[in-house]
Structure 1
Amino acid sequence: MPEPDGAPSGRDDRSQRQRSDRASHPAKPRGGGAQGHGASGRDAPLYGALDLGTNNCRLLIARPAREGFRVVDSFSRIVRLGEGLSHTGRLDEAAMDRAYDALASCAERVVRKGLDSARLTAVATQACRQAENGAAFIERVRAGTGLRLRIIDPAEEARLSVEGCLNLFDPRAEAVLVIDVGGGSTELSWLRKQGREMKTVAWMSAPLGVVTLAERHPEPDDVVGPAGEVWYEAMVADMGAAIAAGGIVDADMRDLFGRGRGHMVGTSGAITSLAGIHLNLRRYQRDRIDGLWMTRKQCEAAADRLKALGPDGRAAEACIGPDRADLVLAGAAILEAVQRAWPCERVRVADRGLREGLLLQRMREDRKPRRRRRRGRQPAAAE
């Protein structure tokens, strides 16, 4: 994929090159299960997926492969498109300029790699859904860069995130809860084993993400003291109320998680950052984070360490950086709220999600054989 979602921005080119090299010989499949028949390898056509979120702009370019796909190029930049949106209802001019510049860089990469624009799927999520001027910004991007972004609804966003994480599901599990923490919203998808496959049985979109939650609850000066604990608990409670408002109640499913027969999958920069803190990484290493299993206690311990670090300490962490230092605890609070609402001991960390889902969906669609028109006798002409 692009630069690690959990890594700080500002290292796009260097991290992208490192990840592209690793992706050409991945230790584990990138993005999904077997791709079936059709062209793969160097002769396979390029596909692209672009995701403009509330906080990040991400591009992934890949070729189909037998085990999923192999990354050719990637890009990720924190743009904070949704900054201030929860207060004004509109995209801020400076935020739009940041996002536009990142999208222009993506358009240049698409051209440089020779990606056919017909095989590029570009989407925008919560910020453009919510903003009064979201559609106008999408048109500005089209006119200026040639990129045609489609604003997707929460249901499609949740489905694509699940699609991108499928091969991280424990095959022995009877239930899985996928948590996609975005900048402006959080999508939750509950899956249950039916026969040999996992099927989505419920989903919801909470209108809180790391940007909106952090703006609603500004960090206090004394974050390591009692005020910091009150602040953090207020974020957990806010997200807990949003989950409760979703109305997803399934006693049988909850029992499966409680008895260790289900697990969570967490996909977001905030959750990959928690994993990096847990592993004490000096630099972001996707091959160690993507697919990592963490216990609930380990998640809580990583969050406690983030609180103790304070803003400056978090900014200095390699897996967080200054652009994410004020958001990562909001992400930890969102995960904590989900774990309290749906007690579960195991969380699998995913450095993958919506973009991977977009790629796999498009590659699968292109593999479907086209129906041939039957050749038969022409109807007799009317007498």
Structure 2
Amino acid sequence: MADTPPPDTNKGARNARGATSGKVADFRYKRPQRAKTSDRQRQPRNAPETVSGSPAGSKQQEVARRGQAKQAYAALDLGTNNCRLLIARPTGENFTVIDAFSRVVKLGEGLAMSGRLSDAAMDRAMSALNICADKLRRRNVHLARSVATEACRRASNGEEFIARVQRETGIVLDIITAQEEARLAVLGCHILLEQGPGPAVIFDIGGGSTELVLIEPGGKVPHIIDWQSVPWGVVSLTDTVGTEEGDEHSRLTRYREMCRLVSDSFAPFAERIAEHGQDRDSIRLLGTSGTVTTLASLHLKLPQYDRRAVDGLIVPAHSMRDISTRLSGMSRRERAQLPCIGDDRSNLVVAGCAILESILDIWPAQKLGVADRGIREGILRSLMAADMEGENSRRAVRELRGKNG
């Protein structure tokens, strides 16, 4: 595949069944040996068809079976705010998306105060996950990995919820570590990093946490020099500081408190990477999150969100700061009326702006790369690379046996 995944060196998180973080596949979605006619009719036009009329065990049939088995891979990311699914088919060293799903579920709503996932939040997530399970079945996915992040890591009833998901949908969610989350985000979006010799920081602003990774570019996969995860995402920070009230002065005071909380959490990482960021002309910055894609849309003055215009865009850092400052002083109603924000993001985007500005403070790059890709793409590349490696090993064994037989 395009990238060979680096090893996950932290296997500390565990899912509800006791499996360590790093579990690759939910085998419920392996393609059945014989698909029903109705299932075949639902496949895309260019899906491989079973070769009929060939002798059992023939080379042609084996090639057909192999092509069918590898036609679809899936990555599901259940975050603190969103549930996202991506189903893709390998295309050379890359992949082609054949199905996708995204829904705001607010799984972490109220978690900062209660320490638990609420019944309403879990029900919203279950509704989205049932749709994902149906897509996985209809697409006859060969190999899938489904992960849950900060909300399930932090919640006292997180593993109970994971067990419910498996019982009701068949989806086996793996509660991954913050380190694995950072690794997957880098793997999914680093190819969009602006070319250059200097060091770079890749960050992912989530709903419940933010991951920052200092990388050394070069090779198919960048070398990770240092990283940090802080428990501030757009949901957790908004819930902690409280809902917005009062006039513009009160809103700006609330925003400054958000920036202070995040900056304090970033301080150890900022101190460690300071020596790498002294040359502002050579350092680079790439972000993946709803925050950066939303702000990039406002920078472009798009009437509605357009992934093709945003993914891979390079934006002046001062422009992102200006937009953040403007949004922080606006009321929620004013923000909701802006294109590409709407009601869903109007309450959370300010927290994202505070996190972004704090990142720009500790890594003052002149430009910011924007990625509308991340964990799901990282999972897909990992799955495809691992499957390709396994297939190469099996082929080598077959050839060795043939020579010896």
TM-score higher than 0.5: yes
The code of the aligned residue for 2:264 comes to A
The code of the aligned residue for 1:249 comes to R
**Structure 1 residue 341 corresponds to structure 2 residue 362:** yes
Q: Give the secondary-structure state (helix, strand or coil) at the position aligned to 2:344.
A: coil
1:248 to 1:69, Cα distance in 2 relative to 1, 3 A: farther
Report what 2:348 is aligned to: 327
1:202 to 1:278, Cα distance in 2 relative to 1, 3 A: same
Q: How far did residue 247 of structure 1 move?
A: 6.4
**Structure 1 residue 370 corresponds to structure 2 residue 393:** yes
Post-superposition Cα deviations, 1:218-276, rounded to whole Å, max 9, x if no partner, equal 243335x22222111111111000101446513431114x2x21211111111111111
Report what 1:203 is aligned to: 227
1:83 to 1:317, Cα distance in 2 relative to 1, 3 A: same
1:171 to 1:99, Cα distance in 2 relative to 1, 3 A: same
Rounded to whole Å, the distance in 1 between the matches of 2:164 and 2:222 is 40
Report what 1:162 is aligned to: 186
Report what 2:31 is aligned to: none
**Contact 1:90–1:132 (8 Å) recurs in 2:** yes
Counterpart of 1:358 (choices 362, 375, 379) is 379
Q: Give the secondary-structure state (helix, strand or coil) at the position aligned to 1:249.
A: helix
Query: Where in structure 2 are the equivalents of 1:250-329 lying within 5 Å?
Result: 250-256=273-279, 258=280, 260-329=281-350
Q: How far did residue 316 of structure 1 move?
A: 2.5
**Contact 1:41–1:63 (8 Å) recurs in 2:** no
Q: How many residues align?
A: 336
Q: Give the secondary-structure state (helix, strand or coil) at the position aligned to 2:108.
A: coil
**Contact 1:175–1:253 (8 Å) recurs in 2:** yes
1:111 to 1:86, Cα distance in 2 relative to 1, 3 A: same
Q: How far did residue 40 of structure 1 move?
A: 12
Post-superposition Cα deviations, 1:18-38, rounded to whole Å, max 9, x if no partner, equal xxx9xxxxxxxxxxxxxxxxx
Report what 1:228 is aligned to: 251
Post-superposition Cα deviations, 1:161-207, rounded to whole Å, max 9, x if no partner, equal 00001211123242110110011100000002368963110001011
Q: Give the secondary-structure state (helix, strand or coil) at the position aligned to 1:77.
A: strand
The code of the aligned residue for 2:260 comes to A
Post-superposition Cα deviations, 1:336-374, rounded to whole Å, max 9, x if no partner, equal 001112211111011000000000011011111115455
Q: Give the secondary-structure state (helix, strand or coil) at the position aligned to 1:322.
A: helix
Q: Give the secondary-structure state (helix, strand or coil) at the position aligned to 1:114.
A: coil
Q: How far did residue 288 of structure 1 move?
A: 0.6
Q: How far did residue 211 of structure 1 move?
A: 0.4
Query: Where in structure 2 are the equivalents of 1:80-99 lying within 5 Å?
Result: 80-99=106-125
My pick for the range that moved more, 186-195 or 368-377, is: 368-377
Post-superposition Cα deviations, 1:134-171, rounded to whole Å, max 9, x if no partner, equal 00000000000111110000010000000001211123
1:326 to 1:170, Cα distance in 2 relative to 1, 3 A: same
Q: Give the secondary-structure state (helix, strand or coil) at the position aligned to 2:278.
A: helix
Rounded to whole Å, the distance in 1 between the matches of 2:217 and 2:97 is 30
**Contact 1:40–1:66 (8 Å) recurs in 2:** no
Report what 1:51 is aligned to: 77
The code of the aligned residue for 1:90 comes to R
Report what 1:242 is aligned to: 265
Rounded to whole Å, the distance in 2 between the matches of 1:91 and 1:239 is 23
**Contact 2:199–2:277 (8 Å) recurs in 1:** no
Kindly report the root-mean-square deviation, in angstroms, between the aligned alpha carbons of the 2 structures. Answer: 2.4
Task: State the percentage of identical aligned residues.
Answer: 41
1:183 to 1:195, Cα distance in 2 relative to 1, 3 A: closer
**Structure 1 residue 151 corresponds to structure 2 residue 172:** no
1:41 to 1:339, Cα distance in 2 relative to 1, 3 A: farther
Rounded to whole Å, the distance in 2 between the matches of 1:348 and 1:331 is 16
Post-superposition Cα deviations, 1:51-90, rounded to whole Å, max 9, x if no partner, equal 0000100000111112511111111111110111111111
For structure 1, the residue ranges without an aligned partner over 5 or more in a row are: 1-20, 22-38, 379-383
Rounded to whole Å, the distance in 2 between the matches of 1:189 and 1:92 is 31
**TM-score, normalised via structure 2 length:** 0.78
Q: Give the secondary-structure state (helix, strand or coil) at the position aligned to 1:120.
A: strand
**Contact 2:199–2:217 (8 Å) recurs in 1:** yes
**Contact 1:192–1:200 (8 Å) recurs in 2:** yes
Structure with larger Rg: 2
**TM-score, normalised via structure 1 length:** 0.82
1:335 to 1:125, Cα distance in 2 relative to 1, 3 A: same
The code of the aligned residue for 1:93 comes to D
For structure 2, the residue ranges without an aligned partner over 5 or more in a row are: 1-43, 45-64
Report what 2:23 is aligned to: none
1:304 to 1:122, Cα distance in 2 relative to 1, 3 A: same
**Structure 1 residue 137 corresponds to structure 2 residue 161:** yes
1:41 to 1:324, Cα distance in 2 relative to 1, 3 A: farther
